[in-house]
Amino acid sequence: MSSSFAFDPSPLQDICVAVDEPKNAVFVNGKFCKNPNLTVADDFLFQGINIPRDTNNNVGSFVTTVAVDQLPGLNTLGISLARIDYAPYGGLNPPHIHPRATEVIMCVEGELYVGFVLSNQLGNRLVTKVLKPGDTAAVAISSLSSQNPGVITVANAVFGSKPPINPDVLTKAFQVDKKVIDNLQSQFWYNNNS
């Protein structure tokens, strides 16, 4: 019997503020590190997470992402967050996955129906909960276990990929008529992530 383990390594230094300019910089975790002696408080500041965003779009939500690209001080720390604003009465953050992170979500105001689907091995069981601190347009804060969690919106990936997935494959996979797949692939798939 053999086994293997995978994990993010512990940081080798206290901070590694991401910079685009590699002058006198060290390359760590996919980003160049600013000289720690040149680090300033603004390297660890993101302004605007408190500002509600416009949810007047096809899905009725807007995600404000705060990852290493928006907040360079997160580099090598293994964390990020997002604010999700939902329109009242039906705003939704489409089903999605984070390929490089685990997500924890907290409803700040309003009411949210949240959940996830277990793996094929566990029968694809849906686990859901209604989170409710209030009765208004909803706002949630999401914490992610990666500085660069990524996001794959399921409908966009399956029906809006470029080049498109062969309709015959999707027709068989979803067990629907080809016209349904053609219609879904012809849609404009909205991206609600900033």
Sign of CA dihedral 170, 175, 177, 180: negative
pLDDT of the residue at 136? 75
User: What's the rounded Cα separation, in Å, for the pair 52 and 83?
Assistant: 9
What angle in degrees, to the nearest 10, is found between the helix axes of 167-174 and 178-186? 120
Mean pLDDT, residues 69-83: 91
Give me 147's structure tokens: 């500085």
The residue among 101 and 12 whose pLDDT is bigger is 101
Over residues 84-138, the pLDDT tens digits come to 999 998 899 999 999 889 999 999 999 899 999 988 999 999 999 998 775 578 8
User: What's the rounded Cα separation, in Å, for the pair 28 and 74?
Assistant: 12
What domains, with CATH codes, occur in the chain? 18-150 (2.60.120.10), 157-194 (no CATH)
Cβ atoms 190, 58 nearer than 8 A = yes
Mean pLDDT, residues 146-154: 87
103 is in an annotated binding site: yes
Give me 68's structure tokens: 């290493």
Task: Count the residues in the chain.
Answer: 194
Over residues 13-51, the pLDDT tens digits come to 678 888 877 766 677 667 888 888 889 999 999 999 999
The secondary structure of residue 70, as a DSSP letter, is T
93 is in an annotated binding site: yes
Cβ atoms 111, 55 nearer than 8 A = no
